[in-house]
Structure 1
Amino acid sequence: MVLASDDVAVESAVSDDAETIELLIELGNGSRKTLGLLPKAAYYEAATEGRILTARVDGRIVGYVLFRLPRNEVVLTHLCVEQGHRRAGIAQSLVNEVSRRYPMRLGVRAKCRDDYADIKRVWRGLGFAQLGRTRGRGEDNAAMTVWWRDHGHPNLFTTADEPTVLTVAIDTNILMDLHTRKAAPQAERSQVLLAPDVADRIEKVVPHGLERDIERHPVQLQERLLEATKHYRRPHGSPAKAEQLFDALRESYRSKFPDRTPSPQDVGDLLQLAETAAAGVKVLLTWDERLRTDVAPVLLEMSHPELSTLRVIDPDHLVIHLDELAHAAAYRPQVLSGSRFSTELANSASESVLLTFLDRAGGEAKNELKARLHTLAQLPRSHSIIRDIGGDPVGCYASLVDGQVVRAPLLRVANHPDADTIARYLLWTLRLTARQHGASVVHIDDPYLSRLAVRAAEHEYYQRVNDAWFSWVIDKAASGRELSAAVTTARDKVGLGPAALLSPSLSPDVAAQYERTWWPAKIADSALPHFAIAIKPRWSAELFGEPPTLTPRSTTLALGREHIYYRSGHPSCLKAPGRILWYLTKDHTTGPGRFIGTSLLDAIDVGTPEELYASLAHYGVFTLRDVREAAGDLGQVQALRLSYTEMFRRPVPWADYLKLSASAAGPRKIQAPVSMPRAAFDAVYIRGNS
């Protein structure tokens, strides 16, 4: 049976239509062996956000597609068609409607196991091409294929896997659900963590504080649980830091519950929270309602950033907020703060330290790394070691400037709580080095990049070609055609073919993607909107380091991968994505007003201070009290997600701006956010970088 498209009605499901949502849940559960378990709340959340489409034939639901919208693509979570209506064009109608509704996104991604019957024919029939091969993160580590349906935009951005993987700690009850009582009815609640769409986006770990909680159980069960922990990575944190955090938690617990004597379970829970936070893990999964409702709210109010950014949630809510949590946890601004990390140049005497980064798991021989280090030691000031506050080596990298190319034959990160942030810091440093030396290419040719470093490179918009990674550093503002030519010239220097030719008036989404990939390029003829925002010296100093402060600020903030800036929830002209010019307001201690830099505006979130702080506290700087102050009497705030912040080489004073913008019709006053004509933006940008 093949139905004409006119016979299939595809429409959005709405969250207040409980009857329809329950039918979709029943349909999805009927295919759970292939689709995996999805909690009911995830269906309702998707309907609320317009991320689930239904297919009806003669008024009856026969299929649905539920999808996510990470970055600039569409990712299919469930594509489900009732058994009796398969091969009738239902799936085709659903996928076509997804593409029709999101034409400006780069394409549609799906990941599927290879052992399903005739699966390649199915995906190719729906208009997908094979993008890459991977392995699932489920228990059987199944072979999978990543499928891609392209929307026809110039495209450098699709990779074989999603770059952001969220590390989550699991508690004893979830460990039991997954290992020691899998057949028990209550264990089904945790099976959502094994669903393909979830398992592939998380890494489950077991903090060392779990042993204290395990001790409450009978000896035989203790042995089985300890054996189960061997299936998971055990992230290490500083014992002294864990003890410090435990003491702080215990004091807060006593203040909140002065009449309650902590039970052994309470002590075990607090210890697990402390160990989780000390290890740099940002999410603890538990079904313990008391822990989630009594203790978790206290964390938000605590002064320790490791605790205030820790989220304690159940697996169902993890699924609902996974993209948001993963995105936020990928940028931990506080972890490189102050003097916690230092950088030193390496030399021939550093070999013993550098050998600790030997990639045994990847098959690297010790003599192979020694030969690489020997070559680097003969080149002065070529490679560096990063150490934490205790002096332990946590990362190393090399950068060799060869004309227009910065080569990185060494880039390693140790197993450390801050490994993700360190990897991204190193990758960003290489791009800064290229710009500083007038180079247009970063070429990472370390053959033993760890999976973590690869994930960071994908997140930083590096492009993989065979076994090497490249970043194109195009330091100019020009038309898309001119920038394409510049990238083609850069690619030619490393023996690669021409770049995609960008057309005029690129959509804001696509233009923003290219500006991230070719940073610091600015596409002058795109549809990306421009705005100016006034910022007070206090917040500018914290976020951007301008004006300079006497006390150390976060290194990651200074090198600026992503920030959050809160403002009142009153409506404004701002649209995302867009470009922002930052105007530092006049102050008697910091001098006259001036333009100091620019950022990409990636997204705008609106909500209550408590809601937004709970999900965005990972980004640091603002406390809950600060966010409430920004909300004022309105009780609502806007959280501006910012990335690729670039401070001007020299600020542009207001008086100079008035002269520059005289012929560009730029705004004459900047208090609330204002639209900025492209010509005025270009004039300020060029002056600030001259």
Structure 2
Amino acid sequence: MCTTGELEHDGNIMGDTRISIRHVSSEEQPREWTSVLNLAKAHRGTLGFLTDSAFMDRIRRGTLIVAEDDGVLVGYCLYDVPRRGYIKLVHVCVATRGSGIGKLLIDAAIEAHPEATAVVAYCRRDYGLDRFWSSVGLSPRGERPGRALNGSVLTQWWMQLGDLDLLEDAALGAGRPLVAYDTNIVTDLFGSPDLFRPEREASLGLLADWFQVEVTPVLSPQVDVELDRIDGELERTRQRQAIAHITRLRSQRHQGSDVLPELLRNIDATVLDADPSLREDFRHIADALTADVAYFVTNDTRLLHHGPAALPTGSTLEILRPHEVVRALDQRLEQPVFQSRLIEAVDLRWTAASSSSESELVDAFISHAHAERGKDLTRAIRAAISQNPRGTRVLTGPKNELWALLAEHRDADALRVPIIRVARGAASNTVALQLARHTRHIARQNNLGEVMIDDSNVTVMMRHALLADGFRDEDGFRASLINRTMTHQQFMHEHPDLPVHHTGHLRDLERRFWPLTLIHTNAPTYVIPIQPRFMYPLFGAPRETLVELDRPRALGLSREHVYYSGSGKALPPRGARIIWYATADQTEQVRAVVAYSRSLGCERTRPRDAYRANRQIGVLGRDHVLSAADKSGQVTVVRFEDTEVLATPVGGHDLQDLFAKHDVKQPIQSFRRVPSAVFDDLIVRERRNST
């Protein structure tokens, strides 16, 4: 049933004491009943059709509210309370436009049902009443076909009530800065590629993985209101669905909040008169202020100019363009992106923690975010050195600078880690990601089935690194190791209680239970040829590591890398297996499969753009990227992760037999998709030879 009402204006709530709001009971006189019907008929052009009996039903249920001015009916509200606990508005009708009575009626319905979790209304789009609904705190969340023969569309208007639900509480209480997007940013990020958006490239930086894990994106309900005004149904639906997962702030307008009026009072009246749309723009700011948002991101030049001046004294909200908020977070988090170049350009080595002074260790690794006391960290370091001197180590650089602190020891079938810290600096996030995987390497080498992080002062950066590596946050971070190769079916049979909710979970499972390797998954599999001179730096290990595996680098192979090629065919999609086939060049001849990885996706672009976008991840120089371009001037960028080097390269007759078994023709001169069984046989052979 369509709901409607007369247009009202922000903050214009009638204060006349003659107005009375009350629920109508079935004992009321017929005069009130007749007045309600007459008012409904007078506004039937913007009210959903209801029979007289439907009105009577609401009276019997006690869900008809009337507004009277000195005994004269000036408005009414019909509503239902379904079992699901929300208030469904059926009719909201007032006699006088802009009186504020509609809000009073809705507030009365809310006050009568304090247990209600939300208010919902359905209104025809062509009624043009969006300003009314938004003024009382509702926002559009979807639409559906109406009953009218002319093809009407009903918009669903929604307002959350009560305490935060579990999803809201988890998002808003996660401790990360709240970043609110303006509607123009939403359209930049999620609008159709066909839309011309001059600032889109800058806005897309907000979708970077490192940025997303460090903030909590949120939206004011005003975004939903403004997206609802998009004329094209396909584009409207596209953007609405794209932001369905983003947490909405609670609008305070239905509670009579004075934040918005205060903001508007701080703006020169001539500015508001010259640009009335600024009043609506400041609804975003009002909701952001109420929710303690850290950054409001917009490309609206007017709002960027007038917004900061309107903020109340003492406000910490910053109104910035996308590149400015990215830069602010980047500086705040000291460049929290994976940059393999930073750690592969230096010679990192583990040294005994006892070789460094306690004051050096405390200064480098104390957790200020947890208000950790220096004497507490000193005690922890002393205890770790005393109990496990060989397992308490410092990662140092060529000039003995401190990079990381790790204390670990064996406890039954688990590796216990009482201290895991990363020094502050440009490479801190990169080292944290490597360090999380390093603890698993230690457990694997010692045939342990679990890693247990007991450090109660793990920094936010280290926490994110552990979660990214598949650790579970269960009263301390935990990671289970499955040092086996098994079929996906066998794995699910042995772990029936593990929640698996989508088909692309191969990466999640292998990362969560590393070094688990799943076979018979039918995952897309590709062979990529690589010259030996690029093989060693690309895999993040010195030349001898691929030959003498008993001499690993301090942090093992890099988590993520990028490779450039002129091949434009058979590009491995995200999640595909990559088998690395080392060829021959002027440095040496290998002609063997030496490693495998997991694809993070490929793209074709110009070499200079490719190098500029990926130079912090890759270790290959600009000259290689430029020389890798094909005749059309394009280069293929291959992003990949979790590389595993084979204990024994597979070449010669063994490789010929493997390829012949699966009808893979040689030579391999460019990217080649092969049956997934090639990977399966390769892994089975590798595990058999390593045991």
TM range (shorter): 0.5 to 0.7
Match of 1:371 among 370, 376, 379: 379
Return the index of the structure with the highest Cα Rg.
Answer: 2
Contact kept in structure 2, 1:557 and 1:563, CA below 8 Å: no
1:140–1:343: structure 2 CA closer, same or farther, 3 Å change rule? Answer: farther
Equivalent residue, structure 1, for 2:201:
none
Please state whether the residue corresponding to 1:371 is helix, strand or coil: helix
1:540–1:201: structure 2 CA closer, same or farther, 3 Å change rule? Answer: same
Equivalent residue, structure 2, for 1:5:
144
**Does 2:193 align with 1:193?**
no
Deviations 1:571-604 (A, max 9, x none): 3253322001111113575334111010000111
- TM-score with structure 2 setting the length: 0.56
Contact kept in structure 2, 1:431 and 1:473, CA below 8 Å: yes
Contact kept in structure 2, 1:384 and 1:397, CA below 8 Å: yes
| TM-superposed deviation, 1:539 | 1.1
1:576–1:142: structure 2 CA closer, same or farther, 3 Å change rule? Answer: same
Match of 1:638 among 636, 639, 643: 636
**Does 2:561 align with 1:563?**
yes
| TM-superposed deviation, 1:385 | 1.0
Equivalent residue, structure 1, for 2:514:
519
Equivalent residue, structure 1, for 2:402:
393
Equivalent residue, structure 2, for 1:460:
469
- One-letter code of the match for 1:617? R
2: distance between equivalents of 1:556 and 1:193?
41
Kindly tell me the number of residue pairs found equivalent between the two proteins: 459
Match of 1:618 among 593, 616, 619: 616
1:588–1:618: structure 2 CA closer, same or farther, 3 Å change rule? Answer: closer
Deviations 1:40-83 (A, max 9, x none): 5873564354899xxxxxxxxxxxxxx96969999887873337
Q: CA RMSD in A?
A: 4.9
| TM-superposed deviation, 1:609 | 1.0
2: distance between equivalents of 1:143 and 1:454?
24
Deviations 1:312-337 (A, max 9, x none): xxxxxxxxxxxxxxxxx611112123
Match of 1:605 among 599, 603, 606: 603
1:683–1:649: structure 2 CA closer, same or farther, 3 Å change rule? Answer: same
1: distance between equivalents of 2:568 and 2:520?
30
Deviations 1:509-560 (A, max 9, x none): 3222322332232232434211111111111122126781699x99699621
Contact kept in structure 2, 1:542 and 1:621, CA below 8 Å: yes
Match of 2:430 among 417, 421, 427: 421
- One-letter code of the match for 2:144? S
- One-letter code of the match for 1:81? D
1: distance between equivalents of 2:194 and 2:320?
24
Please state whether the residue corresponding to 1:331 is helix, strand or coil: coil
Equivalent residue, structure 2, for 1:532:
527
Equivalent residue, structure 2, for 1:129:
none
1: distance between equivalents of 2:485 and 2:384?
35
1:408–1:193: structure 2 CA closer, same or farther, 3 Å change rule? Answer: farther
**Does 2:537 align with 1:542?**
yes
Please state whether the residue corresponding to 2:361 is helix, strand or coil: helix
Contact kept in structure 2, 1:441 and 1:470, CA below 8 Å: yes
Q: Is 655-664 or 632-641 further displaced after alignment?
A: 655-664
Equivalent residue, structure 2, for 1:332:
339
Equivalent residue, structure 1, for 2:95:
none
1: distance between equivalents of 2:567 and 2:581?
20
List alignment gaps of at least 5 residues for structure 2.
Answer: 4-121, 124-142, 147-151, 155-177, 197-205, 256-284, 296-300, 312-316
| TM-superposed deviation, 1:446 | 0.2
- One-letter code of the match for 2:339? R
Deviations 1:351-395 (A, max 9, x none): 343333233541333443333223312223111112334333232
Contact kept in structure 2, 1:37 and 1:192, CA below 8 Å: no
Mapping of residues 473-484 of structure 1, within 5 Å = 473-484=481-492
Match of 2:245 among 105, 109, 119: 109
- One-letter code of the match for 1:375? A
| TM-superposed deviation, 1:39 | 8.7
Contact kept in structure 2, 1:567 and 1:638, CA below 8 Å: yes
2: distance between equivalents of 1:341 and 1:547?
12
2: distance between equivalents of 1:411 and 1:637?
40
1:673–1:632: structure 2 CA closer, same or farther, 3 Å change rule? Answer: closer
Contact kept in structure 1, 2:407 and 2:418, CA below 8 Å: yes
2: distance between equivalents of 1:78 and 1:607?
36
2: distance between equivalents of 1:96 and 1:644?
34
Contact kept in structure 1, 2:559 and 2:641, CA below 8 Å: yes
1:192–1:580: structure 2 CA closer, same or farther, 3 Å change rule? Answer: farther
Mapping of residues 263-342 of structure 1, within 5 Å = 281=335, 330-342=337-349
Contact kept in structure 2, 1:472 and 1:517, CA below 8 Å: yes
- One-letter code of the match for 1:614? R
2: distance between equivalents of 1:75 and 1:379?
43
1:531–1:200: structure 2 CA closer, same or farther, 3 Å change rule? Answer: same
2: distance between equivalents of 1:557 and 1:475?
19
Mapping of residues 257-268 of structure 1, within 5 Å = none
Equivalent residue, structure 1, for 2:685:
687
2: distance between equivalents of 1:70 and 1:51?
24
Deviations 1:126-152 (A, max 9, x none): xxxxxxxxxx9x99794689xxxxxxx
2: distance between equivalents of 1:362 and 1:525?
45
2: distance between equivalents of 1:341 and 1:546?
12
1: distance between equivalents of 2:567 and 2:632?
7
Please state whether the residue corresponding to 1:415 is helix, strand or coil: coil
2: distance between equivalents of 1:51 and 1:470?
46
Q: Is 594-603 or 574-583 further displaced after alignment?
A: 574-583
1:338–1:82: structure 2 CA closer, same or farther, 3 Å change rule? Answer: closer
2: distance between equivalents of 1:204 and 1:546?
28
Contact kept in structure 1, 2:595 and 2:643, CA below 8 Å: yes
Contact kept in structure 2, 1:665 and 1:680, CA below 8 Å: no
**Does 2:441 align with 1:432?**
yes
**Does 2:595 align with 1:469?**
no
**Does 2:325 align with 1:203?**
no
| TM-superposed deviation, 1:193 | 2.8
Contact kept in structure 2, 1:600 and 1:644, CA below 8 Å: yes
Would you identify which runs of 4 or more consecutive aligned residues in structure 1 move more than 6 Å? Answer: 71-79, 83-86, 138-141, 177-181, 553-557
- One-letter code of the match for 1:110? I
- One-letter code of the match for 2:572? L
Equivalent residue, structure 2, for 1:82:
225
Mapping of residues 95-134 of structure 1, within 5 Å = 98=241, 109-113=245-249, 116=252
Equivalent residue, structure 2, for 1:343:
350
Report 1 or 2 for greater relative contact order, CA contacts < 8 Å, sequence distance ≥ 6.
Answer: 1
Equivalent residue, structure 1, for 2:572:
574
Please state whether the residue corresponding to 1:420 is helix, strand or coil: helix
Contact kept in structure 1, 2:219 and 2:248, CA below 8 Å: no
Contact kept in structure 2, 1:337 and 1:555, CA below 8 Å: no
- One-letter code of the match for 1:193? L
